[in-house]
Amino acid sequence: MTTERLRASDRVARPPGPRELRLIVRDQPMKLAAHHRHYGPIPLLDPESGALITEVERAGLTGRGGAAFSTGRKLQAVATANAGRGARVVVANGSESEPASSKDAVLLARSPHLVLDGIQLCAETVGASRGYLCLGSRSPVARSVRDAIAERDRAGLGGLPIEVVDEAAHGYLAGQETALVSLLNGGRAVPAFVPPRPSDKGVRRQPTLVLNVETLAQVALIARYGAAWFRSVGADDAPGSALVTVTGAVSRPGVREIPLGTPLGEVLHRSGLDVPAQAVLAGGYFGTWLPLPDAFRVPMSVPGLRAAGATFGAGVLAVLPASSCGLAETARVAGYLASQIADQCGPCRNGMPALAEAMNWIAFGQPDADIIGWARQLTGLITGRGACHLPDGAAVLVRSALTVFSADLHAHAAAGPCGRAQAAATLPIPPRSQR
């Protein structure tokens, strides 16, 4: 990696140690000069050698946006797609449509150049001539990202045109990769049927690489320091670090960088778990309720949470206090998800509103056996039949609530909603107009 661009700086930065933060190291935005002092300049790799793809595959990096797909395989698919050099596109997904997550916004606000390095390196590797950075509508970080791009242009690092898109994408489905491709092609930000996949035919019908912004930042670090350094933290089956958003009943909510495999309880206690808590929602609104304290020992990683019947998703941990009703929280989320449907297929058009209505009865009424049975049946009927994973995610959430909060379920059926059902919501619910 001792190339002309690497030698543009007099100093090669020391790699962060095992106990040091890797992605967000300051409370304020890191300007380009400080970025280079801390991380070193962006390396210049030979795209024909496939060196970056090989190193990313050796690192075992998976996507940090929720799907946890192999980043190396995505890079390889776009790099080898049937298109000439330059006839490819890189899309950085920073839309963060998960209401309980704020990790992408914090990363872009504090370390924008790390993400922009990742975009540039990936574009050079796959042979792309254009990049897009997609943010949520009215994103608070849009200005700082544009300022960072302008700073790079002034420094002569702006070889790849990067367009910031923050005007049209909103709603829960807008962050799905085919929805972003549809938006960039002038359509609605709703998921498309696959195949073709974006890696074959995406923006402008060109092979398109879509990666979450945290994934791109991790690529920039791997390019500098290598796969062995990346794997020096984390677990054997889940190497590296990840950003997680801790919210709900904690005294120090916010975004934390953790080595993957860290026990869930350790993450919560570091965030100030100071009040009695009954459960934690792991993975966001497509996630799963886990009872506390039983879940304290669950490793925070994709395989660790999967073994516990949960998902890592976008790295969300939302703590439910003992003073709240888990059925009511779930009903509100189910209602929000039903308002976000793309209206393209039956499971969304019919199944999602029906599931939300059933959960509303269960949470705020006095459900009989038929209503409870109907809710359980719906979770099976809508799974695996939609154009996207919105019905599947809602089904997972509702099934976990009916299990974890089974005592409340029986109490509601016997005597109507508990007093906790009227407590203020713990989970954030965006306005229904955001669709």
The residue among 396 and 85 whose pLDDT is bigger is: 396
Instruction: Give pLDDT, residue 431.
Output: 80
Q: In terms of C-beta density within 10 A (0-12 exposed, 13-18 middle, 19 or more buried), how is residue 244 classed? A: buried
Does the structure show a pLDDT above 50 at 401?
yes
Token pair of 351, please?
């199944």
Identity of residue 342: A
Is beta strand 86-94 parallel, antiparallel or unpaired with respect to 208-212? parallel
Pairing of strands 277-282, 316-321: antiparallel
- Joined together, the tokens standing for residue 129 give 């001539």
Distances (CA, A) of 257 to 19, 25, 124, 281: 11, 10, 28, 18
Give the model's pLDDT for residue 10: 42
Supply the pLDDT for residue 432: 64
Per residue in 6-32, pLDDT (tens digit) is 443 444 578 898 889 999 998 889 999
Task: Indicate the SS3 state at residue 225.
Answer: helix
Structure-block tokens of residue 312:
């890592």
Do residues 345 and 420 touch, judged by C-beta distance below 8 A? no
Kindly indicate the confidence band of residue 169, based on its pLDDT and cuts at 50, 70 and 90: low
User: Has residue 168 got a pLDDT over 60?
Assistant: no
Collect all residues with Cβ–Cβ distance below 8 Å to 235 and sequence separation of at least 6: 259, 260, 261, 299, 301, 303, 304
Longest Cα separation, the chain: 73
Domain residue spans of the chain = 6-230, 234-320, 326-422
- Amino acid code (one letter) for 373: G
* Distance separating alpha carbons of residues 183 and 55, to the nearest angstrom: 32
| Position 194 confidence tier, pLDDT thresholds 50, 70, 90 | confident
CATH class name, domain 6-230: alpha beta
Q: Is the pLDDT of residue 433 over 60?
A: no
pLDDT over threshold 60, residue 149: yes
Whole-structure pTM value: 0.93
C-alpha R_g of the chain: 22
Q: Whole-angstrom Cα distance, residue 85 to residue 72?
A: 19
Q: Nearest CA to 244 among 231, 263, 257, 229? A: 257
350 - beta bridge partners? none
The single-letter DSSP state of residue 95 is -
Query: Which residues pair with residue 263 across a beta bridge?
Result: 299
In this predicted structure, the answer to whether residue 4 has a pLDDT above a threshold of 60 is no
Using one digit for the tens of pLDDT, what is the confidence trace for 296-330? Answer: 999 999 999 999 999 999 999 999 999 999 999 99
Quote the CA–CA distance of 199 and 114 in Å, as a whole number: 23
Q: In angstroms, rounded to a whole number, what is the distance separating the alpha carbons of residues 334 and 92?
A: 28
Q: What is the CATH number of domain 326-422?
A: 1.20.1440.230
Q: Which CATH architecture has domain 234-320?
A: Roll (3.10)
Mean pLDDT of all residues in 287-299:
97
Res 136: pLDDT: 84
For residue 254, count other CB atoms closer than 10 A to its CB. Answer: 14
Using 50, 70 and 90 to split pLDDT, how confident is the model at 188?
Answer: confident
Can you tell me the distance from the alpha carbon of 323 to that of 329, in angstroms, rounded to the nearest whole number?
12
Give dist(CA 246, CA 265) in Å, integer. 12
